[in-house]
Amino acid sequence: MEKGILQSPELYQYILESSVYPNEPEPLKEIRAVTESHPRAYMGTAPDAGQMMSMLLQLLNAKKTIEIGVFTGYSLLCTALAIPDDGKIIAVDLDLDAYEIGLPIIKKAGVEHKINFIHSEALPVLNNLLETSDNEGSFDFAYVDADKINYRNYHERLLKLLKVGGIVVYDNTLWGGSVAMPEEQVAEVWKSNRNSVIEFNEVLASDSRIQICLTPLGDGMTICRKLI
């Protein structure tokens, strides 16, 4: 799937080359480079979206964060570089092999101590966090970039875990632009996720507990701020 929904690939390239790559930290460039040969390299968070996440994390002074969907670690490293030295990230993924591709770069960047990687399905991890005292209402930031069918389940749990004023960002909320295509024009392999994403976008838009902003960065990133 092509990343981005801009009017031309050249315009996207312009954004990357004019304002993302010149300021992208070296370890993030390295993670992109080692991910390139992975058969699912397209899954890595888009660098322009990562740049926006870094800014959000720093505006929030985020210290305690969760990430669901790590893959080789681009967004994880982006978060680890943006939070302070005593910041913590609970990072969850089913795919340990992919995480191990980026791990040497995370170590070299000197930020591994901020990361608690949990090799697991995400839902039980969120349930466990909610059962442990002091976690509810304690997280500053969450990033979700995993199985679309579960976004709604993650959302309910993450809203409990976040502080008021905390932010959760959901990736792929435009699903390659397919959310705005008639269903019959959507390739079969995209359909089920496209329908999950459409439903999820409706859930977010009618949720009075959050303020939302769907940004057309990467594959669509929805920023939600917890209001109550």
Ligand X SMILES: C[S@@+](CC[C@H](N)C(=O)[O-])C[C@H]1O[C@@H](n2cnc3c(N)ncnc32)[C@H](O)[C@@H]1O
Q: Please tell me whether residue 145 binds ligand X under the rule CB under 6 A.
A: yes
CA dihedral 182, 186, 183, 10 (to 10 degrees): -30
Among 45, 54, 79, 178, the residue binding ligand X under the rule CB under 6 A is 45
Take residue 135 and report the two structure tokens written for it. 């976690």
Site map (CB under 6 A) of ligand X, residues 17-36, x = contact? --------------------
Q: Which residue has the tokens 């801009």?
A: 6
Q: Please tell me whether residue 147 binds ligand X under the rule CB under 6 A.
A: yes
Shortest distance (Å) from residue 45 CB to ligand X: 3
Q: Please tell me whether residue 94 binds ligand X under the rule CB under 6 A.
A: yes
Q: Please tell me whether residue 221 binds ligand X under the rule CB under 6 A.
A: no
Q: Please tell me whether residue 159 binds ligand X under the rule CB under 6 A.
A: no
Among 20, 60, 62, 92, the residue binding ligand X under the rule CB under 6 A is 92
Give how far Cα 69 sits from Cα of 5, 16, 45, 95, 143, Å.
22, 23, 10, 9, 8
- Closer CB to ligand X, 80 or 92, in the complex: 92
Site map (CB under 6 A) of ligand X, residues 165-204, x = contact? ----------------------------------------
Shortest distance (Å) from residue 71 CB to ligand X: 3
User: Which residue type occupies 89?
Assistant: I
Q: How far apart are CA 155 and CA 226, in angstroms?
A: 11
Under 8 Å between Cβ of 169 and 146? no
Take residue 80 and report the two structure tokens written for it. 């680890």
10 Å CB burial of residue 165 (0-12, 13-18, 19+) is exposed
The residue ranges that bind ligand X (CB under 6 A) are 43-45, 69-72, 74-75, 92-95, 98, 121-122, 145-147, 150
